[in-house]
Amino acid sequence: MQMDERDRMILRLLQRDGRISNAELAEKVNLSASACLRRVRLLEEAGLIDRYTMLLNPARIGKPGNAFVNISIARQTREALETFEKEIQSVPEVVECYLLAGQSDYLVHVVYSNTADYERIHSEVLTQLPGVERVQTIITLREVKRTTELPV
């Protein structure tokens, strides 16, 4: 899809506030409400807008801790990787998981309530996942930047 500056503006505004009304969005991008809605629908149909969601405050829901965990899998077979990837989907404390090129196989972002909670996740969950050979954890001290907005 070819995007113009208005499409980019719509995407930037929706990333900041997915609950903005179509009327307000249209006003901010200088379009009629119907033209704006048509553009939003085209952006959705083209897959540029993946989904609408809300963000929770991790500290307020009792999950202020963030750990980034490097996980190495014992065997590098397609089956071993697929099995790990299927199982990691069911771990609620894992909010992101990336397959890597490098020393470890996966980078996993874990949220937790306190050190005892992370110890439980580490020993009872992460190390028990199929094929896990090594787990190395990086604990964050504080959040410096967090955004879900992509540059468009």
Whole-Å CA distances, 50 to 40, 47, 56: 12, 6, 19
Task: State the pLDDT at residue 53.
Answer: 94
In terms of residue numbers, what domain contains 29? 3-44
Same domain, 35 and 96: no
Domains held by the chain: number: 2
Residue by residue, pLDDT tens for the chain (152 residues) are 899 999 999 999 999 999 999 999 999 999 999 999 999 999 999 999 999 999 999 999 999 999 999 999 999 899 999 999 999 999 999 999 999 999 999 999 999 999 999 999 999 999 999 999 999 999 999 999 999 999 99
Q: Round to whole Å and give the CA distance between 53 and 68.
A: 23
User: Does the predicted model carry a pTM greater than 0.85?
Assistant: yes
Same domain, 34 and 84: no
Q: Is residue 152 part of a domain?
A: no
Task: State the pLDDT at residue 1.
Answer: 86
Q: Is residue 21 part of a domain?
A: yes
Same domain, 63 and 27: no
Nearest to 110 by CA among 150, 148, 138, 84: 138
Q: Is residue 151 part of a domain?
A: no
